[in-house]
C-alpha cells in the first residue's frame, strides 16, 4: 500500500525543514528532490498556503508522486484583494473588496472540493468566507450580495461564467 503524507506549504517556497522534512525523512525519500518537485508544482501559488500530497509509489525504488490541491478560499481571497490578512474587525473595518467576477473565479477553482450543488451556491460559500474576513463584495455587505444572488441580480454574470 502506498504511503501518503499531506502537508500545507507556502507556494514555491517549500523547504527541507518542518513540516516537510520530518514528515518525509522517515519514508527514505530524497528530501531535496521532493522539495524541488513541490516548489516547481506550487510556484503559481506563491505567497499562499497550498495543500500538497506526497504519495510514495514504490518505497524500494524511492519513487513518489506529488498532488497539489487548491489553496483554501481565504488564501484565494487574500490573493485577489492583495491583502496580507483578513480584517481584525470584520464588519467594521473592511480590508478589501471583491468583484462578482473574482468571487466566481474563486468559486470555480474550489467548486470540486465544496458541497455546493452549483456555481451560485459555491459563490455564496466564497462570499460567506469574505464576510468572516472583513471583505466587501461589489462594495456591499456580503450578506446583501448573497440575497441579491437569490433574487437573480447576478444571473447574467453566472450564465456567462458557466459557458
- The per-residue pLDDT for range 57-102, each reduced to its tens digit, is 888 888 899 999 988 999 999 989 998 888 888 878 899 999 999 9
140 and 93 both lie in a single domain: yes
| Domain final residue pick, 39, 66, 93 | 66
- Structural domain count of the chain: 2
Is there a single domain that holds both residue 143 and residue 77? yes
Shared-domain flag, residues 62 and 132:
no
Find how far residue 83's CA is from the centre of its chain.
Answer: 15
Q: What is the mean pLDDT of each run of 10 residues along the chain (163 residues)?
A: 85 88 86 92 87 89 90 91 88 91 94 90 96 95 96 92 78
Classify residue 133 as exposed, middle or buried by CB count within 10 Å of its CB (0-12, 13-18, 19+). buried
Alpha helices per DSSP H over 111-141: 119-133
Answer yes or no: do 94 and 155 share one domain. Answer: yes
Residues 76 and 151 both lie in one domain: yes
Last residue of a domain, one of 48, 66, 84: 66
* CATH, residue 119: 1.10.10.250
Are 62 and 75 within one domain? no
Residue 8's DSSP bridge partners are: 51
- How far apart, in whole angstroms, are the C-alpha atoms of residue 6 and residue 46? 19
Specify the pLDDT at position 20.
86
31: its cell numbers? 528530501
| 7 and 56 co-located in one domain | yes
Whether 152 and 89 share a structural domain:
yes
Query: 30 lies in which domain range?
Result: 1-66
Q: What is the pLDDT of residue 150?
A: 95
Secondary structure of 38-52 in the HEC alphabet?
Answer: HHHHHHHHECCEEEE
Q: Using DSSP, state whether 144 is helix, strand or coil.
A: helix
Amino acid at each position: 500500500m502506498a504511503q501518503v503524507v499531506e502537508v500545507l506549504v507556502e507556494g514555491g517556497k517549500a523547504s527541507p525543514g518542518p513540516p516537510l522534512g520530518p514528515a518525509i525523512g522517515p519514508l527514505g525519500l530524497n528530501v531535496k528532490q521532493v522539495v524541488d518537485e513541490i516548489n516547481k508544482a506550487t510556484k503559481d501559488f506563491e505567497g499562499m498556503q497550498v495543500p500538497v500530497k506526497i504519495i510514495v509509489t514504490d518505497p524500494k525504488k524511492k519513487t513518489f508522486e506529488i498532488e497539489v490541491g487548491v489553496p483554501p478560499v481565504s488564501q484565494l481571497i487574500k490573493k485577489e484583494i492583495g491583502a496580507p490578512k483578513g480584517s481584525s474587525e470584520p464588519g467594521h473595518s473592511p480590508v478589501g473588496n471583491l468583484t462578482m467576477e473574482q468571487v466566481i473565479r474563486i468559486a470555480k477553482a474550489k467548486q470540486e472540493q465544496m458541497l455546493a450543488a452549483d456555481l451560485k451556491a459555491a459563490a455564496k460559500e466564497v462570499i460567506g468566507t469574505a464576510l468572516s474576513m472583513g471583505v466587501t463584495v461589489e462594495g456591499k455587505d456580503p450578506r446583501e450580495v448573497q440575497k441579491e444572488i437569490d433574487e437573480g441580480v447576478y444571473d447574467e454574470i453566472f450564465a456567462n461564467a458557466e459557458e
